[in-house]
A and B are shown apart, each in its own frame.
Chain A
Amino acid sequence: MSITTKDVQHVAKLARLNLSEDEEQMFTEQLNAILQYADQLNELDTEGIEPTTHVLHLSNVMRNDEQRESLPIEKVLLNAPDEEDNQFKVPAVLE
């Protein structure tokens, strides 16, 4: 499989990144090299092999559904780039 500049533009959109033309060019070349290298994984027969998502055999670590103390609002908003009325403020979603 080879990746085109158009693919790079599509992936950048999914990843919420704006790329310059130079970056598009660079990533197209570099991702192609990396993916070409990764294609060696397809040499292996993995029929019937279970995927490893995680090395510890944990499943559904649950906690009781109890009310707990949470961070005070001043702390939550300490790093907020913009805030109003104890809420994070962002530009209008709809124009």
Chain B
Amino acid sequence: MSLLDNTLQELHNKLNAKELSVLELVNQTFKMISERDGRVGAYLTLNEEGARNAARRLDDKLAAGEERGLLFGLPAGIKDNIVTEGLRTTCASQFLSNFNPVYDATVTRKLREADAITLGKLNMDEFAMGGSNENSSFHPVHNPWDLDRVPGGSSGGSAAAVAAGEAYFTLGSDTGGSIRQPASYCGVVGLKPTYGLVSRFGLVAFASSLDQIGPVTKNVEDSAYVLQAIAGYDKMDSTSADVQIPDYLSSLTGDIRGLRIAVPKEYMGEGIDASVKEKVMSALKVLEDLGAVWEEVSLPHTDYAVATYYLLASSEASSNLARFDGVRYGVRAENPSNLLDLYHESRSQGFGPEVKRRIMLGTYALSSGYYDAYYLQAQKVRTLIKRDFDQVFEKYDVIIGPTAPTTAFKLGSQVDDPLTMYLNDILTIPVSLAGVPAISIPCGLADGLPVGLQIIGKAFDESAVLRVAHAYEQHTDHHKQRPTL
């Protein structure tokens, strides 16, 4: 059995029992990275010296019998839009290619306080804008299951690193599907918590009313384990929710008898691959055998979600990205003729095409004369989409469907057509607009490529989402399948 087959808890126990030192584990993980990442491209920056120093400190702590954190010694990768003090954070953008954060994000601090090890920073679509990781301004990420295919995005590095065994868990961020869709394409578990459950302090903002940080792991138990360490109110994020954090591991009872599942007909209709639908239907059968009941429902405004999302997220992005002006940090254009020219040139040289496209769309949607027609109308439709979910959750415990309409597509096949690319997110975006939690878990392979099952819960009911996902996992072995690299 390889170390990679252990759950985080098993690994944690091995470290505690001194069967393995933290330094050995970290060294082995960097060895995997050096063997594989040349082909996968999941990392943008490695923290080799920092990780080894931290490992030695933790080994000393264990030898001295000091108290140890929840994630003691576990090697993690962090998406490159989450700031890490002293460790370069680029958002996969040329604009921030030299950016060295002067403080830690709350989640970075929480991982450190829980005694996790930061291996490095993970590749992504520039500023988290994209669904294929091809918008990284450094290099693309390759799907470990088929190196000619995309890993999904925007947290492509976070998902690929876990799939390739280059990290034991990672953090990603999800605005319209950016954790779940790459988890689906890479055959790993990706959780987007309820908006506000995890602090956004230190997450470089893309769309502030939607952004949420979450874990990417190999199995559901690990997901619950990492969520436990990062969830919770933070006074540094005024939109974080002041709610009681339950014990997520204790919700993994395996018992889903009497669970009421809603399956939206819009999530199983036209445009969804037959092979994807088939895997989802088989998964529903497994859950049925475990005592759950499912019924078809309707989320009638699903078709409007993508348009709503692109107007709202781009509008928020155009405002959030105004801070990148070349004055206080980032790469400044050379020899500007005046201050205005400095702004224009720094932004034009620093941002890639997708980021510019979204800034343009958002600026247009917010500009005088178009605000009511686009931005305000989209906010109203967001209310209708949220109501769809509220109504279904009056009668059902969870909503289940596919995570993405297809499996991973070929690199380069959609780059020239932004609208087609946006439609890959049709099953994850409505969930983000409603702000509720959802997980993507592997539910089988179609032509050798992973298919993701999406389980959506009520606001702050991560426990139900995790319980259902875990029960499914206990009776299947899809999550144990690994790509050969």
Contacts and interface: CB of A to CB of B under 8 A. Distances in A.
A33 B327 CA distance: 34
A3 B378 CA distance: 19
A93 B241 CA distance: 42
B235 A37 contact: no
Nearest to B324: A16
Interface in B80-94: none
B384 A46 contact: yes
Contacts of A58: 238-239
Contact of A38 (B310, B325, B348, B379): B310
A7 B383 contact: no
B331 interface: yes
Contacts of B347: 15-17
A71 B328 CA distance: 14
A81 B384 contact: no
Contacts of B356: 17, 19, 23, 27
A38 B103 contact: no
A31 B361 CA distance: 7
A68 B379 CA distance: 36
Interface in B291-349: 301, 303-304, 306-308, 310-311, 318, 322, 325-332, 336-345, 347-348
A49 B364 contact: no
B23 interface: no
Interface string A1-42: 101000110011011111100010001001101110110111
B419 interface: yes
Contacts of A91: 336-339, 341-342
Nearest to B333: A81
Nearest to A39: B307
Interface in B53-90: none
Contacts, number: 163
Contacts of B435: 55-56
Interface string A38-80: 1011101010011111111010010100000001000110111
A41 B304 contact: yes
A38 B386 contact: no
A63 B235 contact: yes
Contact of B348 (A17, A37, A41, A46): A17
Contact of B98 (A19, A23, A79): A79
A85 interface: no
Nearest to B351: A17
B209 interface: yes
Contacts of B466: none
B104 to A, nearest CB: 12
B317 to A, nearest CB: 11
B45 interface: no
Contacts of A52: 379-380, 382-383, 386, 433
Interface string B375-391: 01111111110100000
A7 to B, nearest CB: 7
Chain B interface residue bracket vs A: 35 or more
A50 B367 CA distance: 21
B475 interface: no
Given A17-B344, A90-B339, A91-B342, A31 B364 contact: yes
B374 interface: yes
B1 interface: no
Nearest to B362: A15
Contact of A27 (B306, B326, B357, B380): B357
A88 B196 contact: no
Nearest to B237: A61
Nearest to A13: B344
Contacts of B384: 44, 46, 49
Contacts of B434: 55
Contacts of B382: 51-52
B195 A56 contact: yes
Given A56-B239, A79-B98, A16 B343 contact: yes
Nearest to A26: B353
Contact of B100 (A15, A53, A56, A78): A78
B310 A34 contact: yes
Contacts of B100: 78-79
B17 interface: no
Nearest to A18: B348
A81 B326 contact: yes
A52 B435 CA distance: 11
**What 6 A-B pairs are tightest by C-beta distance, nearest first?**
A55-B435, A51-B379, A79-B329, A81-B332, A46-B380, A61-B238
Interface of A: 1, 3, 7-8, 11-12, 14-19, 23, 27, 30-31, 33-35, 37-38, 40-42, 44, 46, 49-56, 58, 61, 63, 71, 75-76, 78-82, 88, 90-93, 95
Interface of B: 98-100, 102-103, 195-196, 209, 235, 238-239, 241, 301, 303-304, 306-308, 310-311, 318, 322, 325-332, 336-345, 347-348, 351, 353, 356-357, 359-361, 363-364, 367, 370, 373-374, 376-384, 386, 418-419, 422, 433-435, 459
10 contacts: A17-B359, A33-B418, A51-B383, A55-B459, A63-B235, A75-B102, A79-B98, A91-B337, A91-B341, A92-B339
